[in-house]
Each structure stands twice: as structure tokens, then as C-alpha cells.
A and B are shown apart, each in its own frame.
Chain A
Amino acid sequence: GNSVTQMEGPVTLSEEAFLTINCTYTATGYPSLFWYVQYPGEGLQLLLKATKADDKGSNKGFEATYRKETTSFHLEKGSVQVSDSAVYFCALSDLGVTGGGNKLTFGTGTQLKVEL
């Protein structure tokens, strides 16, 4: 079955540091890949997505590239801010592969803490 593996957290960084959160996946076919962010007490917000190999998703300074050869979708940001403190989830969608509708398979989440 499908699975997503994320690096363990928490990740603690100083403001303006470079961020990388690793994500690898196992899936049949050609899934779409996503990063969602969850702030305390809230639901999930879509951060960025990529639907095919070599696509780069980007939003709010965050980027991730769909690497089929390494089955990876690592999240990066050049300079983090305190306001980026949240839990980040990598996910894949097997839409159309199984014909049974769409469902997201999530990683375990990585908590990011950014300090001044």
C-alpha cells in the first residue's frame, strides 16, 4: 500500500535559518504530492503541491520538488520566521489509481519551532 515517511521532529531553528524537512514516499502509479501545515488548534492548510515528476510546488517562500527517481518531496525554505512554527505534514494522493475515489495518505508530521 501507499506510505509516507517524514523526518522525526521537533525541529528547532533560529529565525532566518535554512529549513529542510525530508519526505519520502511509496506508492503505485503516479501520485500527487502535498505539504500541509497545521497551526496550534487549527485544521490543515494546504501549503503546496506537485502533480507530476519534476514539478516544483512553491508558496510563501516554501518549495518542494517531486523527485520520482528518489521518491522524495523534501520541503525547503531559505529563511524561516517565528510565524512558521507549526506542524508540517507530507501527503500523497492516489487519485485515479485505485478507482475508489481520492484519499490522502499522510506522514506522521514534523513539528517546527523557530526561535528568535
Chain B
Amino acid sequence: KAGVTQTPRYLIKTRGQQVTLSCSPISGHRSVSWYQQTPGQGLQFLFEYFSETQRNKGNFPGRFSGRQFSNSRSEMNVSTLELGDSALYLCASRVNSGANVLTFGAGSRLTVL
């Protein structure tokens, strides 16, 4: 069974640009969550999607957005990039909203110059 797949694994952007990250959950998993990991702030919850609907949102500015498609794949977008957005962005999936175990992908490492 394939795990959670995130693309791209590494990317470099400059301030002011926007970026889109992709996440394919484990087959059969309908819920996808996103987390940001930085040395200073640690792991912080961004948002969760289930059945194409945002179920929960963390405390991030509106520049951070996401969506989920009918096949459960998810994308997150960050607009008007700032240096502080440099981070490892982790996607996690679970079977449904009642399951409490998240399976994480390897992450997308974003560097903003």
C-alpha cells in the first residue's frame, strides 16, 4: 500500500511569489491535514480537509489556503511568500473523521529567498 506522497520534495522561491504543494493520501483515506514545521515554531497545524470540505483551520494568515479534490488529493497554496514561510510542509492522511491516527508524508521543503 503506497504511503502519503508529497510533491515537490524540495523547492526554492523568492519573496512575493506564490507556491502550490500537492499531497496524495493513502488509498482509501478521505481526510488530509497539513502542518508547517520550522525550527523556531515547531510543528503547527494549518488545516484539515475531509470530503472536499475544510473541517478545521489553524492560526495562519489568509495567504495560506488549501483545497481537496474529489479523489481526496489535496493542495495547499501560499501566496505572496515571505522569508518566514521557509519550512517543511507536512501532509498527513487518515481514513475518516473518526480515526485518530495520522500517517505523514515525507514533506515538501520550501526555501524562500
Contacts and interface: CB of A to CB of B under 8 A. Distances in A.
Q: Which DSSP category, helix, strand, loop or mixed, fits chain B's interface?
A: strand
A100 B4 CA distance: 23
Interface in B34-57: 35, 42-43, 45, 48, 50, 55-56
A25 B79 CA distance: 34
Contact of A101 (B4, B6, B35, B55): B55
A103 interface: yes
Interface size on B, as a range, is 20 to 34
B43 A93 contact: no
Contacts of B43: 89, 91, 104, 106, 109
Contacts of B42: 106-109
A32 B55 CA distance: 19
Given A89-B43, A101-B55, A103-B48, A43 B106 contact: yes
A113 interface: no
Nearest to B90: A43
B105 interface: yes
B99 to A, nearest CB: 8
Given A46-B103, A93-B100, A102 B33 contact: yes
Top 10 A-B pairs, shortest CB-CB distance: A101-B55, A101-B56, A106-B43, A43-B104, A44-B104, A43-B106, A103-B45, A100-B56, A95-B100, A101-B48
Interface of B: 4, 6, 31, 33, 35, 42-43, 45, 48, 50, 55-56, 58, 90, 92, 94, 97-107
